Structure 1
């Protein structure tokens, strides 16, 4: 057998040598680009180059087609602190994840949303870490990654991720016979296929520049753009904040290490009334194959908040129709990054005081307070608050006559649910120990 460089056919040698040189040069350039991006983002976890395709989904799709392996795409907002420990475990820590990612999947570490096909990759964009599993033809097998007010990693675990990966491999081996259970997992087309083209994206020229930590498109910027576009179209409503409801809201507590096993059916809940049982696995919801809690959220997400139904197939109880009452979607969304830019925006930094600090102020036990640490004078909301009499170092002890009994994030969520742009927000403050009343016009 002849080696490539001594091929007996000189015509083949003349054709193939430039192709090999081009491939080598392209690989070197891509590696250099990857290293430069890692350095600009300070992505300490993006170093396992033998496991992960770095920030290049099209290249991974091509390799998945060539090898007939499923795609495992992780999305990580590198500058964000939340989920950093879990991200490190997935990217570099867990040997089993590493073996699966390298040997059984074509695996991608995507660290920015710029250029990502939003029609293909739809998930809860408020997550700081998320994963999607796909066939090379674009069929979505599963999603993984869930956050809540309990904490950024309250629902994520290596055991849960591995269990999902094992289910995805089963789905991949069954493809295309299981096509009917997967066809609704891709989602409807977005207003734009790219984040840079979203009609509600603020400062697109900033994001179009070379990616750094200060201008990478965070996943939550996509929800931000959707909110602003809805506002511009006169379609904004606070209900848009009730995104990706947890199965807890219909009465299902899910074992987080399994991702599909019911650990508890809450008494009196819609799930209990339907006859679902503790200890069984959820196999399908509305006909979609379920591999994780995130898959359950995907099914629940588009359902109406008033009197919706969802069909759930349990491994023991069979198919059950769960009837959801009015307001079933409501939950604490104060953890969401996209909440901050939803209207109305105070544009004020209001960290909560400690219990010792509120005690020193003489406030009743159980009452809290928020300190006006910073007013954004570059934004209309901040300038208006200043004009209405609010000052830095003021202590907010009541809003609309009610004592502050929430943290800063919950206060912002409360504001967005209960007030609209153009209304006035009455606040009771302490300034130099003196109680005062101010009323802030909400302008944005």
Structure 2
């Protein structure tokens, strides 16, 4: 089937139209399926905080490729005005990495994917337009209650009870064909379409038993939240963390008589003003609880929890292990702030 495609590999984003080639810039690989005019039929790839390849499979890739070949033949047989329904919508105005002022000012040479994401975050902050939801891109289908069959790619394997999808009538075995009129040919298409949704309703077009069924999903508040801990771009989030630390391993926990599992982040330095100083953290403290919860976390996953749960001014409560005793700390979540204007 590969011989039916012309394959092109792009290893840098210099000069690339980001409006056309839009994907999750924290990932290390992504595929687009296009026609000769660069109209997008589908995109394939994506990951979550677990195994980087857990959402990918050979069979789902082949399924997407076959879908693209079939729809390409239909597009060729259609008149020019009738072809738009086969493509994913793309803004007509190109937008390239060097259209980001901070990137143009501070970056030379190869533009890597994560740098595009990070410069956009920094630019948004310095323009006074930052919103934490800019960090939560490409939400998972599970966020609306749908678990996808990863061997298929866009078939609902299960639907969670009480979720937006269940309440809207989505059923296990449904094939997702369109979301808000965007054609779906992969799980990554689903995530891109969900990412594009800006309203309190998401329109699904489903194939069920050979018939087309429509469902209107009403997602819950904060439905786009996902674990940011794996994302390289989290380092450019304008959160003045003001500390460095690392998770304790089992032997370190045992020496301090802490549980073998659960939250245990050791503070190795406190510097500047921000989260750590607001709460009164000290060097050598071990953070063992966040608002009474104690899940295992890396430092970046802990940051992700904070970004997900708190707005500036909200009270954060920590439990720390200090000098052999549990100590309760509390203080305000800091205002968004960063002095950074460049990305390594």
Alignment TM-score, normalising by the size of structure 1 = 0.64
* Bigger RCO of structures 1 and 2 (CA < 8 A, at least 6 apart): 2
CA distance in 1, matches of 2:268, 2:151: 40
Question: CA–CA distance in 2 between the matches of 1:302 and 1:441?
Answer: 29
Q: Partner of 2:31: helix, strand, or coil? A: strand
Check conservation: 2:174, 2:206, Cα contact below 8 A.
Answer: no
Q: Distance in 1 between matches of 2:236 and 2:242?
A: 9
Gaps of 5+ in 2: 339-344
User: In structure 1, which of residues 310, 319, 322 is the aligned counterpart of residue 203 of structure 2?
Assistant: 310
Pick one of 213, 221, 225 that aligns with 1:330: 225
Q: Describe the superposition over 1:289-339 as per-residue Cα deviations: whole angstroms up to 9, x where unpaired.
A: 21100111111112236x323132224351312222332323333322222
Tell me if the contact between 1:394 and 1:431 (Cα under 8 Å) persists in the aligned partners: yes
Which structure has greater helix proportion?
Answer: 1
8 Å contact 2:206–2:213 — kept in the other structure?
Answer: yes
Q: Distance in 2 between matches of 1:374 and 1:185?
A: 48
Kept in 2, the 8 Å contact 1:358–1:368? The answer is: no
1:68-87 counterparts in 2 under 5 A? none
TM-score, with structure 2 as normaliser: 0.80
Tell me, in whole angstroms, the C-alpha distance in 1 between the residues paired with 2:281 and 2:163.
47
Which residue in the other structure is 2:99 paired with? 197
Q: Do residues 113 (structure 1) and 13 (structure 2) align?
A: yes
Gaps of 5+ in 1: 1-98, 212-216
Question: In 2 relative to 1, CA 236–160 (structure 1 residues): closer, same or farther, beyond 3 Å?
Answer: same
For these two proteins, the number of residue pairs brought into alignment is 327
Q: Tell me the CA shift for residue 433 of structure 1.
A: 4.5
Q: Say if 1:351 and 1:407, in contact at 8 Å, map to a contact too.
A: no
Distance 1:436 1:239 in 2: 32
2:176 is matched with: 282
- Which residue of 151, 155, 165 maps to 1:261? 155
Q: Distance in 2 between matches of 1:162 and 1:424?
A: 49
Residue 347 to residue 166, structure 1, CA distance change in 2 (3 Å):
farther
Higher alpha-carbon Rg: 1
Alignment partners' CA distance in 2, 1:285 and 1:440: 39
Asked if the contact 2:148/2:158 (under 8 Å) is kept, the reply is: yes
CA 421–367 in structure 1, closer or farther in 2 if over 3 Å, else same? same
1:352 matched to 2:240: no
Between 221-230 and 362-371, the greater mean CA deviation after superposition:
362-371
Does the alignment pair 1:236 with 2:236?
A: no
State yes or no: 1:414 paired with 2:309: no
